[in-house]
Structure 1
């Protein structure tokens, strides 16, 4: 159910609209009344208002300024303007402040009801969109490692991709790589000690190695994937080129930690420093 706020400095207008229209039939559960813009601001600060009907000409603060101020704190409130003046300038300003409708007094009751019901539909559609986006974000977060893995594999296989799409995917996947970054590629192969493991165990080992790498390479940004051949490929980057050139010592430390904690050897191949945009 929804809450409606009616604002007008003419008390009779507010009371008439509030009391003579069966708002509950349109899904309105609460009807609030304000006889000034200041009172309306107070009500919107204390109650969750969904739809506001406001007169445009009121003393001290007009309806357009009221809408502007309300949008700063409650941008989802749907606003309907009532005016006794058919002036193009007012209509223009109403559009600028994203009022849903601009209606002339004396207002047609059925037209007003229909406008309020349309406002409610807008609210429902907006919340459905928000809910859908939250679901997408949840799914994206849950599948982020898989998506990052596939994206890097695509780049390693030189799949065609425009710079715009590349930048967008880096942003969406929250990857620690910028287009202008220098990086070094690190390829890891698990040696014979790991050859007897089944696929599930190998998957756990790969996960363990990437976790150890994240800890060892703390000063660096890492992005990794697992290739179809079973290699672990890392892009290692750092803003400072001198620090980036010290990757070799961190790679040795990674080998030692894997040997110590996972009881197996890994071979590491490090590429030369390169720009992210270079082939």
Structure 2
């Protein structure tokens, strides 16, 4: 069995920056076990599989360990592949997913995700979260549908933060977002998800479904520029639109190849 594979760097227009995702277009689903094995072999934050539907495409996202409910950068990467390599002609694509219908719109070199806003609440940080932050003291802690959101003092505190990943991995959550006001952008963040096999994610679109409504409330504005301070780094143009979050970024091809599986 031969499968096409594309690796795309998302939330960047520069190779080796942003967040890499593997995209595998299919005509019908493989077994869950095989898709997870392929994702583990790719060893990227996400491998996305997609099949055509009457309305557009159905997309599923896998880390090296688990299938996840929502992923932004791999959705942008999938749209990039469809527009640039599979002859997709319309202005927008609707992806059916575990988080409902997700629309991606293309304008020039930019792709805009339309994702559901996250509902977050003030939370008492679990002891492991306090422990993994070491000497850093969070100003506020919230819990969304998927992740904890931790507010720090400023951009340098986010950039210089060193977490105890082993302790963090014991927290029963998808991941932990740390954030602060930015020096030359509206806000900055980092995202850690060792529970899903990702110690630190380079650029996390889905985390911005929590970050954008939080900072929109703090800054009293609905359009913002965000930067994720991972080693690879990435920038996101964000907009709060009612109960939806619009997240825009660019993407670039790293490789185009083929997987050959003889004994799945």
Q: TM-score, normalised by structure 2?
A: 0.24
More helix by share: 1
Normalised by the length of structure 1, the TM-score is: 0.23
Kindly indicate whether structure 1 or structure 2 has the higher relative contact order, using CA contacts under 8 Å at least 6 residues apart. Answer: 2
